[in-house]
Amino acid sequence: MPGVVLTAVTTPVSAFPIYDLHSHTRASDGLLTPEQLVLRAVEQRVGVLAITDHDTTDGIIPAREAIARHQLPLRLISGVEISTLWENHEIHIVGLGIDIAHPGMIAFLAGQAGRRLARAQLIAERLEKAHIPGALAGALALAEGGAVTRGHFARFLIAAGKADNMQQVFKNYLARGKTGYVPPQWCTIEQAIDAIHQSGGRAIVAHPGRYGLSAKWLKRLLAHFSELGGDAMEVAQCQQAPNERQQLARYAQDYQLAASQGSDFHQACPWIELGKKLWLPGGVESVWQRFPDITESVCSQESSIRGE
């Protein structure tokens, strides 16, 4: 891929790498292939990357193979982003350091895939009634056999000339209460945490500032998550309100949760980039310090690819 510095190929991961623990590939609604994503991560000087596609781990093995093939100085954490429903809110739980071959996790993600497909059919029916035909076939074609998300419906609707950009299409068609919105039937937070723990991973509340929750409800969510045995919460993202990071860091301390950071990268855009502006405020313990096993588990998986 153009732009990758060849001298980086044999350079080991730095002792103080940049961690980006939330990213997407074409296995769900990201626009890059797993190979393109890991090459871009190295270009952006990320040393430890978690791929966390929506309810699927299908991007992990191709990414691991690409890292081995190009001998990239990049540690990959096997991850997933699970959609859950809590008090009528869609809450995303990231799992890090999971065993993607664990039968319990495979069965759990098969259930989530079934829920995604059932919801996609209902979304398409609603759009059809609003005189927008072909949305199911369109979204499934864009998903290319991966997890079908509202992101794929968004792209279909933009291509059909219904909106100019993602923000507009969500606002007009796919947000709660709009023509193409279907109340989801996701699993509970407890089920997501259990599936993650059973497969050897750690459970992290994704982007707590993006649910539109008041401080009271956000604290309620974090208390619930912590009581259920949840491990960490995302504190740093590359795009955040000025005081949000400090506030989230205080919550992480209050609820004894480790702190994570991630770009939630889906595609190249001016304000979101792999590894960009990712740092944790003082006073929190990072998820990789509290749970070093999330990166260690990856090493054994990498050796197994090399046949060691």
Residue 238 in the binding site for ligand AMP (CB under 6 A) = no
* Contact call for residues 75 and 298 (beta carbons, < 8 A): yes
Interface with ligand AMP (CB under 6 A), residue total 10
Distance CA 265, CA 207 (A): 12
Binding mask 198-227 for Mn ion (x = CB under 5 A): --------x---------------------
Residue 22 found at the interface with ligand AMP (CB under 6 A)? no
Distances (CA, A) of 19 to 22, 45, 50, 51: 9, 9, 8, 12
Q: What does the alpha-carbon distance between residue 51 and residue 264 come to, in Å, rounded to a whole number?
A: 9
Minimal distance in Å, beta carbon 148 to ligand AMP? 7
- Draw the binding track, 41-70, toward ligand AMP (x: CB under 6 A; -: no contact): -------------x----------------
Least gap, CB of 23 to Mn ion (angstroms):
8
Instruction: Please count the other Cβ atoms lying within 10 Å of the Cβ belonging to residue 183.
Output: 12
Minimal distance, residue 17 CB to ligand AMP, in Å: 26
Binding window for ligand AMP (CB under 6 A); candidates: 123-131, 136-144, 164-172, 227-235: 164-172
Say if residue 241 is exposed, middle or buried (CB neighbours under 10 Å; 0-12, 13-18, 19+): exposed
- 150 scored as a contact of ligand AMP (CB under 6 A): yes
CA distances to 59, 152, 273 from 166, rounded to whole Å, are 23, 10, 17
26 contacts which partner out of ligand AMP, Mn ion, none, CB within 5 to 8 A by kind?
none
Give yes or no for a contact between 281 and 291, defined as CB atoms under 8 angstroms apart: no
Q: x/- site string to ligand AMP, residues 179 to 218, per CB under 6 A? A: ----------------------------------------
Question: Which of Mn ion, ligand AMP, none does 250 bind, CB closer than 5 to 8 A by kind?
Answer: none
Place of tokens 């709660």: 176
- Which residues have CB under 8 Å from 166's CB, separation 6+? 151, 154, 158
Binding site for ligand AMP (CB under 6 A): 29, 54, 83, 149-151, 166-167, 170, 266
